[in-house]
Structure 1
């Protein structure tokens, strides 16, 4: 082992040489006489060499203490070089670069490529489940145990899939931080197998008989909810579009519509812009297309009622507390949950209800089977039709689509309360 005297006596010899101590610690002397401490060790099956500082600024005792600390890190499965970089960066950033700051920077970068529904879900999930625990912590101070403890809180309330989504988002945030030089390691990357396994996927519940569909509609029409939410639910049932599309529906997307009813509304059509369709169903830019939704008179009646509540908003179904925002992302889901419909019907389930019941109806009534038309009404790409072909036919069959929408509305609303009454009745019903 080295002594202080040997270290002080180490001078230039015309070529570089090394003086070994113990446990991989050595003093390297350059041909010019510069002396620096090095620690050689193995990590991940590879030999690594860490520079600890120069002599005499770092004494023999200090070098041995650093080497001892490195050995402890290796026992804990940590790379001393990585941990040293982390410490330097953490010291430089201190508390200025917290996890929440990094997360919001990541969100600002990613948001433009997401559909609005997904973007809102991402930031709301971080604000609800992550920022309270991790938000104020410096980015470099967070390790896997801290992230795991936070995610296990989400698991504890039974939200297993949410915990996995949050892990993915935290991991993406740290990947962004590493690329920007604001983080060194990704503490969430290794947790995918530590979290509880995701439950098997399941199909969303949906009624497939017209009688049950009418009962579901009667329950949501008479529920204890704001008129806008209940009108949104009826419009969703009548048009069978995706809940996110209905939630973000804007008045300027509706053509040939007179909210006062002075002129006929029998040609009203809601056209969902191509950009929204690209975001909603993941189409490439070159495959995106406008999605026209011919509206039945019953759907128009819903819009006329919605106008009474949201005429000053750009959104048809505006928020309860602010007309500058659409109704909340979970408004419809919570409505169905509160009314005990979760195992029977969810908002998205109206699409399956419409497709199943209408396909059966056209067969039973001897009409031409219309799988292509029904797919177009649901904004599906029909089997055997390429996106390029769909670009030329996307606005086709509008009258047939309007006729089927009218038939569906008449079937569904048979015995339903008048649309003007929605929001007045407070009585709950059950199936």
Structure 2
């Protein structure tokens, strides 16, 4: 006997799931938890198959019967209703040029040339891991603010508040790009102001006390890991470049005779070449490292020659921090980026020209026109304080009694 609307409505859950048959292969599956699902059993190419017709009460008895009739029409034409349904879903969502994932990848492809490598990689990683699984296949013009908030709350509830804010910024930029290209009318992420827990600003841990710096440098010299990692630890405080620039450094960027390292624009945060004068101590350390990783045979076939790696991959992102931890320094005491804070703080305290220090730190004024950027600005002063800085570090390392060592001015 066919079902009635009253039977469907009054169907109660039992200890085990059960079926209420309507006829022609269609039935209502009632689960112990209370869910009611329309199903259609049919045969195609000699095999029994099952088609989901929807969930009650969103899909009524009458609507389920209409879907059964549609499936029967497809079968009469020799088509498999399950296959047709899958193709329709793929066409509507995954292959749509206007879904969030497609537009986000399009935006990222246009932006990655302007971003530092590590930033571009982190941006795409956040999209793939935290955004695409939730709204990737949704038409971008239909995505609502609550949908965006729901995926951000997953990060927030996991204690990743900073990641939630960063992901929100990325999503917002994708929407602004979609608006600009005529595929969305507004940015729902912009409506979430104040919806997330406030982000706590955390500065990179560093050591700026001269006596403690001396202890750190002496401890670095006791490092028993690989030679190239030990060299990286020794060069990091002398050069105080960004960690990503140090770990991806290649021998082709160095001129040891001139005492210069020119970091290519594509590796820098500001996408501008950056000149690093090398002290005599840095050159000595680099020459020792060259014996291990600078072998000329590696130039053949376009192979890269990374300073701190004997393979075709640069030193990994967390190597410096892990090495510091192995020496007894936690991430609350100092991290790789902290060597920049160390140098900037003490160079400013010692009275060196602030503009020269900021240029060596690759901190460029926001209103500086890119075309006028001069990587050699204040170079005479920078050469002087880079040598004085290495001399100062040597003095701190040798000063085991904790006496005050001054950073000598030229």
**TM-score, length-normalised on structure 2?**
0.59
Hey, what's the Cα distance between the residues in 2 that align with 1:230 and 1:342?
18
Q: Contact (CA 8 Å) 2:207, 2:342: kept in 1 or not?
A: yes
Hey, what's the Cα distance between the residues in 1 that align with 2:163 and 2:207?
26
1:171 aligns with 2:172: yes
Q: In the comparison of the two structures, how many residue pairs are matched?
A: 300
* 2:162 alignment partner in structure 1: 161
Deviation of 1:399 after TM superposition, in Å, equals: 5.2
5+ long unaligned stretches in structure 2: 1-88, 401-410
Measured at CA, do residues 335 and 174 of structure 1 come closer, stay the same or move farther in structure 2, by a change above 3 Å? farther
Measured at CA, do residues 269 and 412 of structure 1 come closer, stay the same or move farther in structure 2, by a change above 3 Å? farther
Measured at CA, do residues 329 and 142 of structure 1 come closer, stay the same or move farther in structure 2, by a change above 3 Å? farther
Hey, what's the Cα distance between the residues in 2 that align with 1:181 and 1:91?
23
5+ long unaligned stretches in structure 1: 1-89, 258-266, 283-287, 364-368, 417-431
Hey, what's the Cα distance between the residues in 2 that align with 1:295 and 1:251?
17
Hey, what's the Cα distance between the residues in 2 that align with 1:164 and 1:297?
42
**What SS class does the counterpart of residue 292 from structure 1 fall into?**
strand
Q: Cα RMSD between the aligned structures? A: 3.9
Deviation of 1:151 after TM superposition, in Å, equals: 1.0
Measured at CA, do residues 276 and 101 of structure 1 come closer, stay the same or move farther in structure 2, by a change above 3 Å? closer
* 2:288 alignment partner in structure 1: 304
**What SS class does the counterpart of residue 113 from structure 2 fall into?**
helix
Hey, what's the Cα distance between the residues in 1 that align with 2:342 and 2:233?
14
Hey, what's the Cα distance between the residues in 2 that align with 1:300 and 1:370?
27
* 2:361 alignment partner in structure 1: 378
Hey, what's the Cα distance between the residues in 2 that align with 1:379 and 1:331?
23
**TM-score, length-normalised on structure 1?**
0.57
Deviation of 1:349 after TM superposition, in Å, equals: 1.7
* 1:213 alignment partner in structure 2: 213
Q: Map 1:21-36 onto structure 2 (within 5 A).
A: none
Hey, what's the Cα distance between the residues in 2 that align with 1:154 and 1:386?
38
Deviation of 1:135 after TM superposition, in Å, equals: 3.6
1:344 aligns with 2:343: no
Deviation of 1:113 after TM superposition, in Å, equals: 1.4
* 2:391 alignment partner in structure 1: 407
* 1:256 alignment partner in structure 2: 256
Measured at CA, do residues 358 and 292 of structure 1 come closer, stay the same or move farther in structure 2, by a change above 3 Å? closer
Hey, what's the Cα distance between the residues in 2 that align with 1:96 and 1:390?
46
**What SS class does the counterpart of residue 94 from structure 2 fall into?**
coil
* 1:269 alignment partner in structure 2: 260
* 1:242 alignment partner in structure 2: 242
**What SS class does the counterpart of residue 163 from structure 1 fall into?**
helix
**What SS class does the counterpart of residue 126 from structure 1 fall into?**
helix
The Cα offsets for residues 95-154 of structure 1, whole Å up to 9 and x where unpaired, read as: 313433322111001111112232122122223333343445554564333322221121
Q: Map 1:59-70 onto structure 2 (within 5 A).
A: none
The Cα offsets for residues 8-60 of structure 1, whole Å up to 9 and x where unpaired, read as: xxxxxxxxxxxxxxxxxxxxxxxxxxxxxxxxxxxxxxxxxxxxxxxxxxxxx
Q: Contact (CA 8 Å) 1:318, 1:324: kept in 2 or not?
A: no
Q: Map 1:353-392 onto structure 2 (within 5 A).
A: 353-358=342-347, 374-380=357-363
Hey, what's the Cα distance between the residues in 2 that align with 1:289 and 1:233?
23
Deviation of 1:249 after TM superposition, in Å, equals: 2.1
Measured at CA, do residues 124 and 218 of structure 1 come closer, stay the same or move farther in structure 2, by a change above 3 Å? farther
